[in-house]
Amino acid sequence: MKQRAAKRPADERKREILESAQAVFAAEGYANAGAEDVARAAGVAPSAIYRHFPSKRDLYLAALRDAGPRLQAIWNGTAATSGDPLEAAWKVGLDYYDHVQTRAPYASLWFQALGDVSDPEVREVIAGNYTGIVGLLERQLATGQAAGVVRDDIDARIAAWHFMAIGLTFDLVHHLGLDDELNREKVEAWGRLYLDSIRAKEVSG
């Protein structure tokens, strides 16, 4: 008699549903994606979703909450490979551009969710995700100021938001299908302009 395949643990199934939801919502947006689409992507019955998430909105909020720390972890890992804060900013910026180009869901999900911020809970989650990344960048830049490689006459948080604005432009250009406007060569040139704007003069050149 053929044995039935062992059931996956509940936490593993929930993780698969959550990751599938991130991909589906990133591609389709909240309004256009249904729980059935997520279930199909996860390879489960729609009823399995509701065992873990009471509604599509709850699933959406969980997907947004999960995406922020995961993207921050990716950026933290990238920054940790360099002891130079300017080099870390360079690597994070290029990694983000590559991330957008590969259509990985985390950044796209955030960008799509900007259209849903009339919902106070969505706005709170997205604001937390963005300020979390800004805080990460601010700490990197403050470290650079302490080391004398980043200008000490600039506000590190403003410089971090400037960096985020560049990243949002990557998202915008990509979602508009205008990737040729910012190919990698142009992105690297823009990155050098940003770094030159924050680099301490005594170490420039």
Residue 106 lies in a domain: yes
Q: pLDDT value at position 5?
A: 38
Comparing CA positions, the residue from 77, 104, 102 lying closest to residue 91 is: 77
Record the tokens describing residue 16, joined without a space: 């698969």
Rounded Cα gap, residues 7 and 77, in angstroms: 33
| Domains in the chain, number | 1
Rounded Cα gap, residues 21 and 43, in angstroms: 12
Residue 37 lies in a domain: no
Q: Please give the model's pTM, rounded to 2 decimal places.
A: 0.83
Q: Could you read off the pLDDT of 105-154 as tens digits, one per residue?
A: 777 888 889 999 999 999 999 999 999 989 999 999 999 999 999 999 99
* Distances 182 to 8, 102, 164 between C-alpha atoms, Å: 43, 14, 16
Which domain, by its residues, includes 159? 63-203
Residue 182 lies in a domain: yes
Contact 156, 142 (CB under 8 A): yes
Contact 178, 101 (CB under 8 A): no
Residues counted in the chain = 205
Q: Could you read off the pLDDT of 15-60 as tens digits, one per residue?
A: 999 999 999 998 889 999 999 999 999 999 999 999 999 999 999 9
Residue 22 lies in a domain: no
Residue 124 lies in a domain: yes
Residue 80 lies in a domain: yes
Q: Does residue 160 or residue 97 have the better pLDDT? A: 160
Residue 6 lies in a domain: no
Q: Does residue 150 or residue 170 have the better pLDDT? A: 150
Comparing CA positions, the residue from 173, 157, 163 lying closest to residue 193 is: 163
Within the chain, how many helices (H) and strands (E) appear?
9, 0
At residue 70 the predicted structure's pLDDT band, cuts being 50, 70 and 90, is confident
Residue 148 lies in a domain: yes
Domain of 113, CATH number, reads: 1.10.357.10
